[in-house]
Amino acid sequence: MQIKKTDEKFIDLKKLSEILLMRGIRSAKNWCETVGIKIQIVGNKSVVHRFLVDMELDKSLIVQLKKKYPKKWEELYRCYIDNDRLGYLMLLEDNPELNIRKISNTITPMSDTAKSFANS
């Protein structure tokens, strides 16, 4: 159980170099030093806190959102974190209501509830 929590909390430098599209661990170490993320030794691996890496990678997104949508950037970033694409698109729309179209008349509803819904 503790191992799973550790895996979620830390990321090793080899995996980090893959995420950053870098050639090796040395490049990942240089990146960590440049952005100020401390490298730790856990067991026989060099690791960094996953949260700090995620925040550093999201900084450019936050800057872009603040610049383009100064009033909505926090809500848009929350949609990004929650992977809420519909919410993101609705925030970008001027009229945030969904475009609901009428049900086709070629299908005849069976129940009274379905009939009332189709006629609304």
Q: Write down the pLDDT at residue 1.
A: 39
Dump pLDDT digits (tens) for 5-50: 556 899 999 999 999 999 999 999 999 999 999 999 988 999 999 9
User: Within 13 A of 115's CA, how many CA atoms are on the CB side?
Assistant: 4
How far apart are alpha carbons 49 and 12 in whole angstroms? 9
Q: Write down the pLDDT at residue 105.
A: 56
pTM recorded for the entire structure: 0.64
How far apart are alpha carbons 86 and 96 in whole angstroms? 10
Helix, strand, coil % (nearest 5) of the chain?
60, 10, 30
Dump pLDDT digits (tens) for 45-65: 999 999 999 999 999 999 999
Dump pLDDT digits (tens) for 97-119: 555 555 555 666 667 777 776 67
Q: Write down the pLDDT at residue 3.
A: 47
The CATH number fitting domain 2-50, selected from 2.40.30, 1.20.1270, 3.40.1800, 1.10.10: 1.10.10
Which residue bears the tokens 């603040």? 66
- Residue 35's closest CA among 49, 46, 23, 45? 49
